Structure 1
């Protein structure tokens, strides 16, 4: 799985949702799209890439926020 291709696709999704007037809605929508249409292995690879590279990930800030939020949601769901 080519991480640069995943980053490019995630940023394209982010560009679409970035036009939403509400920042939080845009972030949630990106996360929902990734969860709905991306295989778990793709999401995991993207999350691991972001965790290991931080701001150097190549992800747009809004997309990085969405990925981090979805990781937090998964951790929170597992804790209950």
Structure 2
């Protein structure tokens, strides 16, 4: 799967959880969703993108993916 698609998916998930007023809870929600719903190759690819600067990821997505790493 292309990185651009993973970025869009991670940002869409983050948009959903961003409604949570407590951003720590929101970041954990995103992280848990990625752990449960994404296959290992997808998680590895988004982590690698994050470790290379994470361009295009929302702030909440960056926090969540950073917790995966």
The normalised TM-score by structure 1 is: 0.83
**Matches of 1:27 and 1:10, distance apart in 2:** 11
Shift of 1:68: 0.4
Shift of 1:50: 1.2
- Deviations along 1:18-77, one digit per CA (max 9) or x if unpaired, are 00011100000000000000001000000001111x15x100011000000121xxxxxx
- Name the one with the larger helix percent: 1
**Matches of 2:50 and 2:64, distance apart in 1:** 11
Q: Which runs of 5+ in 2 are unaligned?
A: none
Partner of 1:24: 24
Runs of 4 or more consecutive aligned structure 1 residues displaced over 4 Å after TM superposition: none
Q: Which runs of 5+ in 1 are unaligned?
A: 72-80
- RMSD between aligned residues: 0.8
The normalised TM-score by structure 2 is: 0.95
